[in-house]
Amino acid sequence: MTPTHAPAAPILQARSVSKFFGAITALRDVNLQVGKGEVLGVVGDNGAGKSTLMKVLSGLYTPSEGALLFEGGEVRFDSPRASRKIGIEMVYQDFALAGNMSIHENIFLGREVKKPWLGLPLLNKKAQREQAQEHLNRLKIHVKSVDQNVEDLSGGQRQAVAIARATAFDAKLVIMDEPTAALAIKEVGKVLDLIHTLKEHGVSVIIISHRMDDIFYACDRVMALYQGTNFAESLIGNTTRNEVIGWIMGTKGNTTGLAHDSVAA
């Protein structure tokens, strides 16, 4: 597909990426690019390959064919750790937080703030609490206290903490797979505003969502996958909800009458 709406300097590019699982082709020659500070929406029906593509971009899967370029140079990830190292973070659908631990412990899980004491790295809880609070402030995330246990938070607050965790260490690109799917309606807006805040900080975001409201509120550009291939893409201002819903169903052109509430909901 010709990248007609390509950002000037993509931070991440997938070029002709295919992914096979045995006889199943999950992705075929897929191209994707996202610019610095750009929010890219990825849409597609169930089984279109969205999650597989994100797992390739975040290093959980290696592509069967094709290449990834980060800031113009080819990269190969053998694990999510490798992609994280260069600033790509994935926020998983199930949040992946430790419920019985505090907010600051979750944000720093595996990357605790240490201060040397008699030559031993000791956990510096005070510094960690402060840094967690500063980071939440930067992202305009409001919690009662960073000492609150994550299991006592609402779904939206947990999602916010998961995003704070993903962005606490110089993330350049955050990938979110259906970040609003499990949230109450009144919490969705806060998560979408958080995406705007990330953009203000120059962070790039790729967001998968089946909610047209999310896509049209949060994204600069939208691309549709259909049966594992690129189907269509557009700057958000040059398309409509109905057109994008049509893409999800594999139709282009005249989309009159395709405003299915079940898809738009």
Ligand X SMILES: Nc1ncnc2c1ncn2[C@@H]1O[C@H](COP(=O)(O)OP(=O)(O)O)[C@@H](O)[C@H]1O
Shortest distance, CB of residue 241 to ligand X, whole angstroms? 19
Q: How many Cβ atoms from other residues are within 10 Å of residue 60's Cβ? A: 16
Residue 179 contacts which entry, ligand X, Mg ion, none (Cβ below 5-8 A, type-dependent): none
| Residues 121-140 contacting ligand X, CB under 6 A | none
Work out the widest C-alpha separation in the chain, in whole angstroms: 72
Q: Closer CB to Mg ion, residue 33 or residue 51?
A: 51
Instruction: Determine if 21 is a binding residue for ligand X (CB under 6 A).
Output: yes
What is the C-alpha separation between 94 and 250, in angstroms, rounded? 28
Q: Give the H or E element holding residue 20.
A: strand 10-21
User: ∠ CA(229), CA(232), CA(235), 5° rounding?
Assistant: 135
Shortest distance, CB of residue 104 to ligand X, whole angstroms? 32
- Encoding tokens for residue 36? 């610095």
Q: Which stretch binds ligand X (CB under 6 A): 41-49, 133-141, 145-153, 249-257?
A: 41-49
Shortest distance, CB of residue 39 to Mg ion, whole angstroms? 19
Residue type (1 letter), 149: N
Q: Closer CB to ligand X, residue 55 or residue 129?
A: 55
Q: Which stretch binds Mg ion (CB under 5 A): 18-26, 46-54, 126-134, 229-237?
A: 46-54
Q: Do residues 177 and 50 make contact, with C-beta atoms less than 8 angstroms apart? A: yes
- Encoding tokens for residue 135? 């980071």
Q: How many Cβ atoms from other residues are within 10 Å of residue 29's Cβ? A: 14
> If DSSP codes are grouped into helix, strand and coil, which group holds residue 254?
coil
Q: Closer CB to ligand X, residue 46 or residue 100?
A: 46
Q: Closer CB to ligand X, residue 51 or residue 239?
A: 51
Residue 98 contacts which entry, ligand X, Mg ion, none (Cβ below 5-8 A, type-dependent): none
Question: Which of 13, 31, 33, 51 touches Mg ion (CB under 5 A)?
Answer: 51
Residue count at the site for ligand X (CB under 6 A)? 11
**Measured between alpha carbons, how far is residue 195 from residues 57, 144, 173, 202, 253 in Å?**
19, 21, 11, 11, 30
| Residues 83-112 contacting ligand X, CB under 6 A | none
Q: Closer CB to ligand X, residue 24 or residue 96?
A: 24
Could you tell me whether strands 120-123 and 173-177 are parallel, antiparallel, or unpaired per DSSP bridges? Answer: unpaired
Q: How many Cβ atoms from other residues are within 10 Å of residue 67's Cβ? A: 13
User: ∠ CA(75), CA(76), CA(80), 5° rounding?
Assistant: 110
Give the x-and-dash track for 44-83 against ligand X (CB under 6 A): x-xxxxxxx-------------------------------
Q: Closer CB to ligand X, residue 19 or residue 172?
A: 19
Residue 49 contacts which entry, Mg ion, ligand X, none (Cβ below 5-8 A, type-dependent): ligand X
- What are the residues binding Mg ion (CB under 5 A)? 51
- What are the residues binding ligand X (CB under 6 A)? 21, 24, 26, 44, 46-52
